[in-house]
Amino acid sequence: MAPESSGTAARVRLVDIRDTPLDVAEVLDAVGDEAAGGETVFVGRVRDHDGGRDVAALDYSAHPTAMSRLREVCEEVAARHDVRAVAAVHRTGALAIGDIAVVVATSAAHRGQAFDASRDLIDTLKAQVPIWKHQRFTDGVEEWVGTP
């Protein structure tokens, strides 16, 4: 059973969209809680391939509403799961292969709760926050991902 929504905002500890490199330790520190027996973190990196093609680089762009929508997603996930804290940070701008694009983390009394909440957080973020990926492939082809 998920906790009541009255404490949801307090459990959202870090939400940001940045054009500077992301720090995994900062996100993990944000969800630290003495009542948490489990903390999970997901790190999304730029990979060198997609759909069978080699990726050269990519850019992330965020709609002006992306920050408020990211906060809403964090609050929704905190309301759906019995967590102590949630945090999510996404990068924008030009990223190279291996760069960190997104970091999400949750903490909960037990590991299963933290794992479930983190999966929900990254999946919901990817589906609902208007951040778009512009991929450039080594063969010269470009594509936008996540645009309406």
* pLDDT tens track for 8-28: 888 999 999 999 999 999 999
Count of CB atoms within 10 A of residue 18's CB?
Answer: 13
Structure tokens at 126: 């990817």
Write b or e for each residue in 80-110: b if 16 or more Cβ atoms lie within 10 A of its Cβ, otherwise e.
Answer: bbebbbbbbbbbbeebeeebbbbbbbbbbee
State the pLDDT at residue 60: 97
29 falls within a domain: yes
15 within a domain of the structure (yes/no): no
Q: Decide if 35 is inside a domain.
A: yes
CATH at residue 70: 3.90.1170.40
Q: Is the pLDDT of residue 50 over 70?
A: yes
Residue 78 lies in a domain: yes
- Domain-embedded: residue 5: no
Give the pLDDT of residue 145: 85
- Evaluate whether residue 44 is within a structural domain: yes
Chain centroid offset of residue 24 CA: 11
Is 80 contained in some domain?
yes
Number of domains in the chain: 1
Domain that holds residue 87: 20-145
- pLDDT, average across residues 34-42: 96
**Is residue 6, in this structure, part of any structural domain at all?**
no
What does the pLDDT look like over 124-146, one tens digit per residue?
Answer: 999 999 999 999 999 999 999 87
Mean pLDDT of 113-133: 97
Q: Could you give the angle at the alpha carbon of 36 between the alpha carbons of 67 and 119, nearest 5°?
A: 45
pLDDT of residue 94: 97
